[in-house]
Amino acid sequence: MIDKDGNTYRVTRPMVIANARALFEAGRGLLGAETARDVTLDLAPVREVDSSALAVLFGWRRAAATRGIALRVIDPPASLLNLASVHGVAGSLPLA
């Protein structure tokens, strides 16, 4: 679901409503145990997203912020960027 390599988390499942709760909880758990101050979220393997992906990302951002962790997202799929644009939140995503 989420592979951790140092301070990089790689999401390996579709970010869709069926996986949203499990993804959020997995990411929140990793962030809760994180000692690094900067974490990179790699979305390169993600091929399918829906609007729940935005909720998961913003939830992770909040979880990271409460721990003083700067979260940045790399390689988001174009479909996620399109959704963020349609919903008017593209500028709020922590894109690298």
**What tens digit of pLDDT does each residue of 4-15 get?**
999 999 999 999
The contacts of residue 91 (CB under 8 Å, 6+ apart) are none
Residue 96's pLDDT is 73
Handedness of CA 49, 52, 17, 96 (dihedral sign): positive
Number of domains into which the chain is organized? 1
The CATH code of the domain that includes 40 is 3.30.750.24
**Alpha carbons 64 and 38: distance in angstroms, whole number:** 9
Q: What is the pTM of this model?
A: 0.94
Residue range(s) defining the domain that contains residue 26: 2-92
Confirm if 1 and 12 have CB atoms less than 8 A apart. yes
**Alpha carbons 11 and 2: distance in angstroms, whole number:** 5
Binned at pLDDT 50, 70 and 90, residue 16 comes out as very high
Phi, psi angles (nearest 5°) of residue 74: -120, 155
Within 1-95, strands assigned E span 2-5, 8-11, 38-42, 70-74
Residue with tokens 């960027």: 81
**What tens digit of pLDDT does each residue of 43-96 get?**
999 999 999 999 999 999 999 999 999 999 999 999 999 999 999 999 999 887
